[in-house]
Amino acid sequence: VIQTGQDIAGGAWDPSVDTRQRVLEAAGQVFAEQGFRAATVREICARAGANIAAVNYHFRDKEGLYREVMNFAAGMALEVHASMPTLLRDGSIRPEERLRGFVRGHLRRVLDDKVPAWHSRLVMRELADPTPELAMLCDRFFRPVHAALGVVVRELLGPAATDARVRMTVCSIIGQCVFYKHCREAALLLMPEQGYGAADIDGLADHIAEFSLGAIASMRAGAERTDA
Amino acid sequence: VIQTGQDIAGGAWDPSVDTRQRVLEAAGQVFAEQGFRAATVREICARAGANIAAVNYHFRDKEGLYREVMNFAAGMALEVHASMPTLLRDGSIRPEERLRGFVRGHLRRVLDDKVPAWHSRLVMRELADPTPELAMLCDRFFRPVHAALGVVVRELLGPAATDARVRMTVCSIIGQCVFYKHCREAALLLMPEQGYGAADIDGLADHIAEFSLGAIASMRAGAERTDA
């Protein structure tokens, strides 16, 4: 628990919305750089040019501040990926094309630095080293994407596919996409010849879509042979 | 830089091998739990029942201690995965079976908790939030695995496959395997019906192998059609 600003910095409450927003953005950066445990409210305040009383007033304590930062990050992720669930369920587009569009859009967004770097770093930290906020992130952000991707995968796999097969296939697709994000620094060291410009990212997306569609078609053919 | 034990704890040098090993193991746990930045030499010493002079004597400072811990972890990973490069290059086994064996062995080792939990947590932290030690980890551990997997993938894809296709296919296979590790907590929340017992892990491995072999066969057929 943080002491009041009067005790530590001698400052007064600062109830302005502008200060709240500045603290939130500074906190996002500091939590992303250092993780929840190592980050200090003192450093966040210094970076935001706010006093500790403001954190106390707006967010109560470090946990409360982290919770708001994660909510802010989830909201931003939802906004950036907003078109995904709609695209994946759009019956006017062939399911193969919906899958291609999903992979390309997902990879562009996670690798192409459209989102501020601190945001995706924070989400990766939360995945690698979860806090109680992971459940919120799953409910608001990951679950709708998994569910919508499951609809396309089920169409592509055909009626013989079990729920487990649909689930594992969704994970095979997501796993290929997030690899380049989660292991980015190692990938740069291991494969210096792999570029990450816009055309390179589209090339990776084309590979993942082709790999996955080939796999799905082959599994569908196998299941139908077994049925017959 | 750490001060000498005389200054901080009033203790003397402790040059014993036993103390060195105790500090190393405690450091592995503390770095894994808290990350390099948040971990303190003080806590590591308290957990090892050693004084700070011993860290100073054996490892020089926190950076030196972390370097030795990462070397220890890389050595352990090499030992646990020792059979992989040999299996992947064993010409007496069909390449499809080598790929199946690789996926099954890899998934069992990373999910089946044979390796102490701190070890894999440390490696995941290093991937998510790299220090200069990531280069060592890539050279000693990841690169040989990638290279050996590349040999099998090249055999399976056939002579028409480009280097880029081989590289991206290796990443598609590794990405599917490490997903369950890197996103384990999120996967538990999103898919409570997915078990992680030995039979469940083998089921996941069978899916990943079947998915990948289907994808590879389909890409090979496509490339050969284009050639013809």
At B3, list the tokens. 């001060």
CB atoms within 10 A of CB A150: 16
Expressed in angstroms, the distance from the first to the final Cα of chain A is 65
Q: What is the predicted pLDDT for the residue at A76?
A: 83
Contacts of B85 (CB under 8 A, 6+ apart): B144, B145, B147, B148
For an interface test with B, give the residue of A124, A153, A167, A171 to mutate (most B CBs within 10 A).
A171
Q: Does B178 touch chain A (CB under 8 A)?
A: yes
pLDDT tier at B7, thresholds 50, 70, 90: very low
Q: What is the C-alpha separation between A189 and B171, in angstroms, rounded?
A: 14
Residue B12 has pLDDT above 60, yes or no: no
Q: What is the C-alpha separation between A217 and A202, in angstroms, rounded?
A: 22
pLDDT higher at B129 or B155: B155
Tell me the HSE value of A196 on the side-chain side, using a 13 A CA sphere. Answer: 15
Region B102-108: mean pLDDT is 93
Nearest Cα to Cα of residue A179 among B120, B127, B179, B215: B179
Residue type, B160: A
Tell me the HSE value of B12 on the side-chain side, using a 13 A CA sphere. Answer: 2
Q: What is the predicted pLDDT for the residue at B228?
A: 65
What is the count of residue pairs from A and B with beta carbons less than 8 Å apart? Answer: 167
For B32-80, how does the pLDDT look when each residue is reduced to its tens digit (9 = 90+)? 988 888 899 999 999 999 999 999 999 999 999 999 999 988 888 888 7
Contact present, B212 and B103 (Cβ < 8 Å)? yes
At A71, list the tokens. 């909510």
Contact present, B1 and B42 (Cβ < 8 Å)? no
Region B130-145: mean pLDDT is 92
Task: Choose the closest CB to B219 out of A163, A177, A211.
Answer: A211
Contact present, A38 and B34 (Cβ < 8 Å)? yes
At B213, list the tokens. 């072999």
Q: What is the predicted pLDDT for the residue at A143?
A: 93
Local structure of B50: helix, strand or coil: coil
A45, exposed or middle or buried, with CB in 10 Å at 0-12, 13-18, 19+?
buried
Nearest Cα to Cα of residue B71 among B139, B155, B173: B139
DSSP secondary structure, B82-100, as one string: THHHHHHH-TTS-HHHHHH
Tell me the HSE value of B55 on the side-chain side, using a 13 A CA sphere. Answer: 33
> What's the Cα-to-Cα distance from A213 to each of A98, A141, B178, rounded to whole Å?
11, 25, 21
A203/B219 Cβ within 8 A: no
For B161-176, how does the pLDDT look when each residue is reduced to its tens digit (9 = 90+)? 999 999 999 999 999 9
Q: What is the predicted pLDDT for the residue at B44?
A: 96
Q: What is the predicted pLDDT for the residue at B224?
A: 83
Residue B3 has pLDDT above 50, yes or no: no
| Cα nearest neighbour of B211 on chain A | A215
> What's the Cα-to-Cα distance from A95 to each of A87, A144, A154, A177, A209, rounded to whole Å?
10, 18, 10, 18, 12
Q: What is the C-alpha separation between A205 and A209, in angstroms, rounded?
A: 6
For an interface test with A, give the residue of B62, B121, B182, B194 to mutate (most A CBs within 10 A).
B182
Its ipTM equals 0.88
Identify the residue whose tokens are 């055309």: A199
B171/A179 Cβ within 8 A: yes
> What's the Cα-to-Cα distance from A10 to each of A48, A205, B78, rounded to whole Å?
17, 54, 55
What tens-digit pLDDT sequence spans chain A (228 residues)? 444 434 344 445 566 778 999 999 999 999 998 888 889 999 999 999 999 999 999 999 999 999 999 998 888 888 878 888 888 889 999 999 999 999 999 998 888 765 677 888 888 888 888 899 999 999 998 999 999 999 999 999 999 999 999 999 999 999 999 999 888 889 999 999 999 899 999 999 999 999 999 999 999 998 888 776
B178/A183 Cβ within 8 A: yes
Positive or negative: CA dihedral B120, B178, A177, B86: positive
The residues in A 52-91 lying below 8 A from B, measured between CB atoms, are none
pLDDT higher at B204 or A3: B204
Contact present, B39 and A35 (Cβ < 8 Å)? no
| Averaged confidence pLDDT in chain B | 88
Tell me the HSE value of B115 on the side-chain side, using a 13 A CA sphere. Answer: 25
Nearest Cα to Cα of residue B214 among B115, B135, B100, B106: B100
Nearest Cα to Cα of residue B189 among A191, A19, A130, A182: A130
Q: What is the predicted pLDDT for the residue at B46?
A: 95
A179/B175 Cβ within 8 A: yes
Q: What radius of gyration, in Å, describes the C-alpha atoms of chain B?
A: 22
Distance from CA of A1 to the nearest CA of B (A): 18
